[in-house]
């Protein structure tokens, strides 16, 4: 590619290379110096420049950076010559004993060196409800640290990522320093215990509890397509993600919902109803559905079930152990085990299944 000679440039800095910028004939031209070559980019030259730079160095990649100019914001490409690094990667199904029947989770092991931007980009790429990143613990009482990302941002805590990450950590050779696994996350230290092949986390304290505003209850009931009189109870059950909960009279009502929740952009809604057939060791006591931002339904949700269990134990006598079902209308078979210890601790557990194992280039 023939590069014309250009007059002096106004120089700026990027994180990885020198960006040279000038205005020529009313067109913003960005020049990137990489591998000793100076390459010009205009909107019509992006593909040609990319091919030229890759011919010189096949490790060159391209991203987009926004620069302010006299004509407003302009998106211009810049090159990065950092060679991709390989990180161990796993994908698991959580709260299910068979692949493709639970809630999937992506885990990047040994995530040292990844920036916040790297983690967010990977979470958008996997496009799962959550992607986690395993890091060395900062707290001396923790076995490891985890960061939890959705495609749109970071969470302080989430249930199925807690169990799935612990399973990936154990499979990767992790050994707890004590009887239980201790996970460090933005919400604090979370204890995880093993019961055979199953894992369970202790429900974290609620950040917000108590009944919802009546206006919110009426609005949510209308969006669910049910009468206000069908709502048996309601509460905040926020342990990080911001859950609100409505309880309906029966599990059948929960399963029949066809809600219109596209307007819901600032919080998340859980709906629970009781199965009235006698529950044995294999039958769920409750049916749960979870609707996240924009009304998207989550297959199986540990944090929501933890908040619901805390609410129910505080409200009325409950058995020491029960199972909740979730994901039924999505053709999943999520099963959440709830156990209440004598000291009042509530444990949320279930099966985890490894479905993908390998490496990811970042």
Q: Which of 2-11, 255-264, 331-340 has the lowest mean pLDDT?
A: 2-11
Say yes or no to pLDDT of 13 above 60.
no
Quick count: other Cβ atoms within 10 Å of Cβ 3?
Answer: 12
Are 39 and 45 spatial neighbours (Cβ–Cβ below 8 Å)?
A: no
Query: Partners of 192 in the beta sheet?
Result: 181, 201
Q: Which of 11-20, 223-232, 334-343 has the lowest mean pLDDT?
A: 11-20
Say yes or no to pLDDT of 114 above 60.
yes
Are 132 and 122 spatial neighbours (Cβ–Cβ below 8 Å)?
A: no
281 or 314: which leads in pLDDT? 314
**Residue pLDDT, tens place only, 116-160:** 999 999 999 999 999 999 999 999 999 999 999 999 999 999 999
Say yes or no to pLDDT of 68 above 90.
no
Q: Which pLDDT score is estimated for 11?
A: 35
Say yes or no to pLDDT of 301 above 90.
yes
Q: Which of 35-49, 147-161, 180-194, 282-296 has the lowest mean pLDDT?
A: 35-49
Q: How confident is the model at residue 3 (pLDDT cuts 50, 70, 90)?
A: very low
Domains in the chain: ranges and CATH? 10-80 (no CATH), 86-203+354-361 (3.10.310.10), 208-344 (3.10.310.10)
Q: Which pLDDT score is estimated for 245?
A: 98
Q: Which of 38-47, 176-185, 245-254, 257-266 has the lowest mean pLDDT?
A: 38-47
209 or 74: which leads in pLDDT? 209
Say yes or no to pLDDT of 30 above 90.
no
pTM of the shown model: 0.75
Q: What is the mean pLDDT of residues 231-256?
A: 96
Quick count: other Cβ atoms within 10 Å of Cβ 6?
Answer: 13
Burial (CB count within 10 angstroms: exposed 0-12, middle 13-18, buried 19+), residue 216: middle
| b/e map 77-111, b = 16+ CB within 10 Å | bbbbeeeeeebbbbbbbbbbeeeebbbbbbbbbbb
| Catalytic entry in 130, 184, 247, 287 | 130
- Percentage of the chain exceeding pLDDT 70: 76
User: How far, in Å, CA of 151 to CA of 90, rounded?
Assistant: 17
Q: How confident is the model at residue 267 (pLDDT cuts 50, 70, 90)?
A: confident
Three-state DSSP at 263 gives coil
Are 300 and 324 spatial neighbours (Cβ–Cβ below 8 Å)?
A: no
Query: DSSP labels for 20-41?
Result: EEEEETTEEEEEEEETTEEEEE
Q: Which pLDDT score is estimated for 92?
A: 98
Q: How confident is the model at residue 181 (pLDDT cuts 50, 70, 90)?
A: very high
Say yes or no to pLDDT of 59 above 50.
no
Q: Which pLDDT score is estimated for 262?
A: 82
- Report how far Cα 31 is from the mean position of its chain's Cα atoms: 37
Say yes or no to pLDDT of 279 above 70.
no
Q: Where are the alpha helices (DSSP H) in the chain?
A: 46-56, 116-126, 159-171, 214-224, 251-255, 302-315
Q: Which residues have CB under 8 Å from 65's CB, separation 6+? A: 14, 19, 75, 76, 77, 78
Q: Which pLDDT score is estimated for 281?
A: 60
130 in catalytic set: yes
Are 123 and 149 spatial neighbours (Cβ–Cβ below 8 Å)?
A: yes
**Residue pLDDT, tens place only, 204-220:** 999 999 999 999 999 99
Averaged pLDDT of the chain: 82
Q: Which pLDDT score is estimated for 82?
A: 61
Which backbone phi and psi does 252 adopt, to 5 degrees? -60, -40
278 or 319: which leads in pLDDT? 319
Q: What is the mean pLDDT of residues 84-94?
A: 96
Q: How confident is the model at residue 12 (pLDDT cuts 50, 70, 90)?
A: very low
Q: What is the mean pLDDT of residues 329-348?
A: 97
């Amino acid at each position: 590619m023939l590069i014309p000679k250009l007059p002096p440039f106004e120089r700026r800095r990027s994180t990885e290379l020198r960006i040279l910028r000038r205005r020529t004939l009313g067109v913003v031209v960005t020049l990137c110096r990489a591998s000793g070559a100076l390459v010009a980019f205009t909107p019509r030259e992006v593909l040609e420049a990319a091919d030229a730079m890759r011919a010189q160095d096949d490790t060159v990649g391209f991203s987009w950076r926004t620069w302010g100019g006299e004509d407003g914001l302009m998106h211009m490409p810049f090159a990065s010559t950092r060679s991709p690094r390989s990180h161990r990667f796993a994908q698991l199904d959580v709260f299910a004993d068979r692949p493709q029947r639970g809630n999937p989770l992506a885990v990047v092991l040994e995530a040292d060196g990844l920036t916040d931007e790297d983690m967010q980009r990977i979470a958008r790429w996997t496009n799962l409800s959550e992607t986690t990143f395993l890091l060395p613990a900062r707290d001396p009482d923790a076995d490891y640290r985890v960061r939890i990302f959705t495609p749109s941002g970071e969470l302080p805590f989430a249930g199925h990522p807690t169990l799935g990450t612990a399973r990936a950590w154990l499979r990767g050779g992790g050994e707890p320093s004590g009887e239980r696994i201790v996970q460090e996350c933005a919400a604090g230290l979370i204890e995880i215990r093993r019961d055979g092949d199953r894992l369970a986390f202790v429900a974290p304290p609620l950040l917000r509890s108590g009944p919802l505003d009546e206006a919110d209850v009426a609005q949510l009931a209308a969006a669910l397509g049910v009468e206000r009189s069908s709502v048996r109870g309601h509460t905040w059950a926020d342990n990080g993600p911001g859950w609100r909960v409505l309880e309906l009279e029966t599990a059948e009502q929960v399963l029949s919902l066809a809600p219109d929740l596209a307007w819901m952009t600032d919080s998340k809604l859980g709906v629970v109803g009781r199965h009235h057939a006698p529950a044995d060791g294999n039958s769920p006591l409750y049916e749960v559905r979870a609707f996240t931002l924009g009304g998207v339904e989550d297959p199986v949700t540990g944090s929501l079930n933890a908040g619901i269990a805390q609410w129910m134990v505080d409200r009325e006598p409950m058995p020491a152990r029960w199972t909740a079902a979730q994901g039924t209308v999505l053709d999943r078979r999520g099963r959440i085990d709830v156990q209440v210890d004598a000291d009042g601790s509530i444990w949320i557990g279930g099966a985890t299944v490894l479905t993908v194992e390998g490496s990811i280039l970042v």
